Amino acid sequence: MSERLQPGDVAPAFTLPDADGTEVSLSDHKGRKVIVYFYPAALTPGCTKQACDFTDNLELLAGAGYEVIGISPDKPEKLAKFRDKESLKVTLLADPDKQVLESYGAYGEKKLYGKTVVGVIRSTVIVDEEGKVERALYNVKATGHVAKIIKDLGV
């Protein structure tokens, strides 16, 4: 199981395809703050709620200097369907090999309906302008999480 990130850690570098198959790297965002959130699956109720919440608050977050990237193990084609169906404005990246999920501590054992399973741990990592972890939140709830981030960041 992967280690969870701590504030001050260097955020693991990544390059993943977006919903259109275009490669996006964390380094593309150097000099800007990035909210990287990890979710289990596109087109599911909780993940849709979370992605819509980020989209609804994107202007507010961008105004405060934050960019938002969502990462799941879905393939780009499914992400494109998700984006188009829900009119999402956040950047969605595909990590079918789960290497980035693991490097961020967002994949491993979790409790699901009282059972221990291995899967995506709904997580949010806020990366500062220098590429360091500002905050790392694990086992977050899909509903109300974006509002909590906005409040915690003082946006």
144: left (phi over 0), alpha (psi -120 to 50) or beta: left
> Which stretch of DSSP H or E encloses residue 115?
strand 115-120
Q: Is 47 a catalytic residue?
A: yes
Spatial separation of the C-alpha atoms in residues 17 and 79, rounded to whole Å: 10
Q: What string of DSSP letters covers 52-106?
A: HHHHHTHHHHHHTTEEEEEEESS-HHHHHHHHHHHT--SEEEE-TT-HHHHHTT-
Q: What are phi and psi of 26, to 5 degrees?
A: -60, -35
Per the residue annotation, which of 16, 34, 47, 88 is the catalytic one? 47
Cβ pair 23, 100 in contact under 8 A: no
State the catalytic residues: 47
